[in-house]
Structure 1
Amino acid sequence: MSYVTPTEFVTKMIDAGEAKIFMSTRDTLIRAFMAGAILALSAAFAVTITVQTGNALAGAILFPVGFCLLYLMGFDLLTGVFTLSPLALIDKRPGATAGGVLRNWTLVFIGNFAGAFLVAVMMAIIFTFGFSEVPNEVGQRIGHIGEGRTLGYAAHGAAGMLTLFIRGVLCNWMVSTGVVAAMMSTSVSGKVIGMWMPIMLFFYMGFEHSIVNMFLFPSGLLLGGKFSFMDYLIWNEIPTVIGNLVGGLTFVGLTLYSTHGRKKGKQSAQAGHIGNPAGVPAE
């Protein structure tokens, strides 16, 4: 499947992060909007499968279809740019700044939310026949998901907030692993297989994904979920975003960069030392 070595795909990660920092506002917003919309559709698809089959594993197995499609089309999720964009700054790529990274994150957040919210409205219309009936079974399930994953955490106080944060960390550890896994192959089949496994894992385990939640919770509110928008922000979205940032950057971006991204420089230094054991500078 045309395997790409770690040293090579980490270089691709840094290049991708650099490209995202310098991408135009227009392109960043369009790509983020489409990514949020497609992932939201995939979440609706997975919940529908789970409700209709009564098997959560079936929904989790099929959920990654949306992630694979949006990645192959070059669209951007906040979880991915959390991991990739800072690498260009860490690698000291010319022109890469902290401001550029924050700009990229902000634009992608806005685009993801807009795309996910649009799909939330569309699906709410479908689940209620244009708000003329009570939500169908799938719509009711989405409403209950929103309640359990806001008020459910709030009921446990600090312990609930810690659990939410850790679920966010674990989520983007897996999601960013999926992003990187796609860079390990040059074939479409290899990319899809690499992405599918960690994405399926995070969804089935119920980890917290900030963009999936941009669909589930606004949709839940539209469908009569008994929680507020502030409940959603405080007891889900904000801690999830922070957890996603920590998980992706710490356990994927920085670990791979520290052991593979700087390998060439270390080897060059070692080679120079071998050729000049006394360490005398050349004249």
Structure 2
Amino acid sequence: MSNFLTPAEIAQTAAAIGHDKAKQSWWKLLILGFLAGAFIALGFLVDIRVTASLPDSLASIKSLLGGAVFPVGLMLVVIAGAELLTGNMMTLPLALHAKKIGIGGLVYNWFWVLIGNLLGALFVAGVFGLGAHLLTEDPFKTTVIALATAKAKLPFGSTILSAIGCNWLVCLAVWMAYGAKDIGGKILAIWFPIMTFVAIGFQHVVANMFVLPAGLWVGAPISWGQIIVEWIGAFIGNAIGGWLFTATAYFLVYMRKAGDTTTG
């Protein structure tokens, strides 16, 4: 017996998961969303703690090393269990295309998960980043300020495009993890795509719910207005990457019936 699913089987599995997510009670989505936001923030926090002391002359090594540890966040989401907005930008649209849910179910899930993710990310930034002083002293303070400033000042269009690439890779990680039948396979499926997006420097809306407020709180020269605009751009791009480049693409290939010209 194979220890992994075929892409066509993954499509059916992901659509069924999307259906279940749309039916989940709001308070469970909020709790699981909080956990996912915290998990992703912890992944970003360990990235900063591991790479901040390396010199800029080793920028490529810093990116690779940060990418190597950041995936722990999504591993916790997928294996331990949590609700992550960016992954749901693939599963819910796929269920919608397959006519397993309506648009109301998608919006319902995204709304409560977004709120939970934001609360979880802010919790880690405030309690661990500031309260535990993990980001209040150099070189960690300087690093988080630089990261937050660069993200907040990235042009809006560039943020969207970067976020498309990010969630294309994140959703592929989730997609492949659904296809693995054992924990080792899920870890490998998650690690490579997430390492890639982090090393490239793509924009992830939930990760940025952590690093932008954390940077602001330790002195980054940015405003809440800039942060919100960045989040909006990252949300739009992440949604396109998850919905169009993953859910729609695989629905058309593996799930649409012959002669059916609709996608939702």
Fold match (TM-score > 0.5): yes
Q: 1:146 aligns with which of 148, 154, 168?
A: 148
- Indicate if the aligned counterparts of 1:210 and 1:241 stay in contact, CA closer than 8 A: yes
In the TM superposition, residue 141 of structure 1 has moved relative to its aligned partner by 1.1
- Indicate if the aligned counterparts of 2:32 and 2:83 stay in contact, CA closer than 8 A: yes
In the TM superposition, residue 183 of structure 1 has moved relative to its aligned partner by 1.2
Does residue 1:135 correspond to 2:133, yes or no? no
CA, structure 1 residues 128+36, in 2 after alignment: closer, same or farther (shift >3 Å)?
Answer: closer
- Indicate if the aligned counterparts of 1:127 and 1:139 stay in contact, CA closer than 8 A: no
In the TM superposition, residue 52 of structure 1 has moved relative to its aligned partner by 2.8
Moved more, 80-89 or 100-109: 80-89
Distance (whole Å) between structure 2 residues aligned to residue 78 and residue 128 of structure 1: 26
Number of equivalent positions: 251
Q: For residues 58-97 of structure 1, what are the structure 2 equivalents within 5 Å?
A: 58-93=65-100, 96-97=101-102
Distance (whole Å) between structure 2 residues aligned to residue 52 and residue 141 of structure 1: 9
Larger radius of gyration: 1
Does residue 1:193 correspond to 2:188, yes or no? yes
- Indicate if the aligned counterparts of 2:63 and 2:200 stay in contact, CA closer than 8 A: no
- Indicate if the aligned counterparts of 2:19 and 2:92 stay in contact, CA closer than 8 A: yes
Distance (whole Å) between structure 2 residues aligned to residue 258 and residue 17 of structure 1: 17
Moved more, 245-254 or 57-66: 57-66
Moved more, 236-245 or 134-143: 134-143
Distance (whole Å) between structure 2 residues aligned to residue 161 and residue 38 of structure 1: 26
- Indicate if the aligned counterparts of 1:127 and 1:136 stay in contact, CA closer than 8 A: no
Instruction: Specify the alignment match of 1:100 in structure 2.
Output: 105
CA, structure 1 residues 219+124, in 2 after alignment: closer, same or farther (shift >3 Å)?
Answer: same
Distance (whole Å) between structure 1 residues aligned to residue 186 and residue 64 of structure 2: 22
Letter aligned with residue 104 of structure 2: G
- Indicate if the aligned counterparts of 2:134 and 2:140 stay in contact, CA closer than 8 A: no
Distance (whole Å) between structure 2 residues aligned to residue 69 and residue 103 of structure 1: 23
- Indicate if the aligned counterparts of 1:127 and 1:138 stay in contact, CA closer than 8 A: no
Distance (whole Å) between structure 2 residues aligned to residue 52 and residue 137 of structure 1: 6
SS in 2 for 1:207: coil
In the TM superposition, residue 266 of structure 1 has moved relative to its aligned partner by 4.1
Distance (whole Å) between structure 2 residues aligned to residue 67 and residue 116 of structure 1: 13
In the TM superposition, residue 31 of structure 1 has moved relative to its aligned partner by 0.6
Distance (whole Å) between structure 2 residues aligned to residue 73 and residue 18 of structure 1: 20
Distance (whole Å) between structure 1 residues aligned to residue 193 and residue 63 of structure 2: 16
Does residue 1:241 correspond to 2:247, yes or no? no
Distance (whole Å) between structure 2 residues aligned to residue 114 and residue 189 of structure 1: 30
Gaps of 5+ in 1: 154-159, 268-283
Percent of aligned pairs with the same residue?
Answer: 30
Instruction: Specify the alignment match of 1:8 in structure 2.
Output: 9
- Indicate if the aligned counterparts of 1:124 and 1:139 stay in contact, CA closer than 8 A: no
In the TM superposition, residue 128 of structure 1 has moved relative to its aligned partner by 6.9
